[in-house]
Amino acid sequence: MSGTIVCGVSDSEAAATAIGVAAELSRRLGLRLVLVNVADTISDPLGEALESVSGRNARLAARKLLQRLIEEHRLDGVVARDEAGDPALRLAHVAAEERAQLIVIGSRRVGLLRKRLRAGLAAALSEASPCPVVVAPPQRVPAAGVAAAAR
Amino acid sequence: MWLWAQTAASVAELALRPVVCGVDQSQAGGDAARVARVLARLVAAPLVLVHVVDRPDEVVDGARLLARIAHDAELGEVERRVAVGVPAEQLAEAADAERAAFLVVGSRGLGPMRAAFLGSVSMQLVGLAPCPVLIVPPGAAAAFSAAADAAPVQTAAVARSAGADLTDHAARRTWHGRAR
């Protein structure tokens, strides 16, 4: 299968699970992997960032985050794209541009209200995405003893 | 040691984790079934089709619906199950019981605010499912299926090899806090 997976990451624990699932799917399905961080900035109705100093700084931070994640997860041959604007709309836009077969995002373990808020990205993508969206589950924090035994 | 034992057991089993697909009578259900069929074929994994009904007296109708969806989506002799209860909870339980690699569901297009706050099944599953949830937005099934149709099917040996990694990966991360 030739094609592309777009993996949306942020500076959170959810990035690790998203990258794990996306990298595995990329390998198993033979799909190219594009890592995307969208700096959540003031945007126009189409989701594109409005020009601002804070927006430029946020985009610079997005670029650094992507570099760090690529190094941390040893992602060879991955394409990195830093974007700014509305996260869901920009991810959907990148997926359309890249003619992606899948978008992969992560999720975090949080309380009920915050969980619903965080489901906002998945909910928005489930409307806007041109391709199926994979939401990786939160990573379990193992008990200290178990973690130590596993090392 | 416990975690290693769990991981080793999972890898040793090498039973390819199934793709579980939750369906209903909507267009979204049919889309989910088509994407799940392609995904299962690509990774050489079994497919389990699940429909959830409200009451026990609806099980027979549920089974008929599953047969129709399986026929329409050309799923062949796929495993079909009818569960009774709350859809998101039952689908998450099915994924957990099957140790699913993926849970595939359709999205009906409620709109992001309604979906996030009023709770579509797919959004509820984001917080409940023990495995990655693959959501099929309205109109998105065709793009995935078309691109995948030309792809070669993994041989059992390749799939087992790849499955070891995915299983290992999953076991190490232990999706959503559920010990295997």
From chain B, the residues in CB contact with A98 under 8 A are none
- What is the arithmetic mean of pLDDT over B137-154? 72
Name the more confident of B99 and B108. Answer: B99
**Dihedral sign from CA coordinates of B166, A37, A105, B45:** negative
Q: Given an 8 Å threshold on Cβ–Cβ distance, is A1 in contact with B151?
A: yes
pLDDT interval class at B147 (50, 70, 90): low
B167 touches chain A (CB under 8 A): no
Tell me the residues of chain A between 22 and 61 that have a Cβ less than 8 Å away from chain B.
24, 27-30
For residue B4, give the nearest of A136, A139, A149 by CB distance: A149
The pLDDT tens digits of the residues spanning B60-95 come to: 999 999 999 999 998 988 999 999 999 999 999 999
The pLDDT tens digits of the residues spanning A74-132 come to: 998 899 999 988 999 999 999 999 999 999 999 876 655 555 545 678 888 888 899 99
- List the structure tokens of A74: 């040893």
Q: Given an 8 Å threshold on Cβ–Cβ distance, is A125 in contact with B154?
A: no
Q: Is the pLDDT of residue B14 over 90?
A: no
How are the residues of chain B apportioned to helix, strand and coil, as percentages rounded to the nearest 5? 55, 15, 30
Mean pLDDT of chain B: 76
- Mapping DSSP to helix (H, G, I), strand (E, B) and coil, where does residue B105 land? strand
From chain B, the residues in CB contact with A147 under 8 A are 3
Q: State the helix-helix crossing angle for B141-149 and B27-42, rounded to 10 degrees.
A: 30
Percent of chain A at pLDDT > 90 equals 46
The pLDDT tens digits of the residues spanning B116-129 come to: 554 578 888 887 89
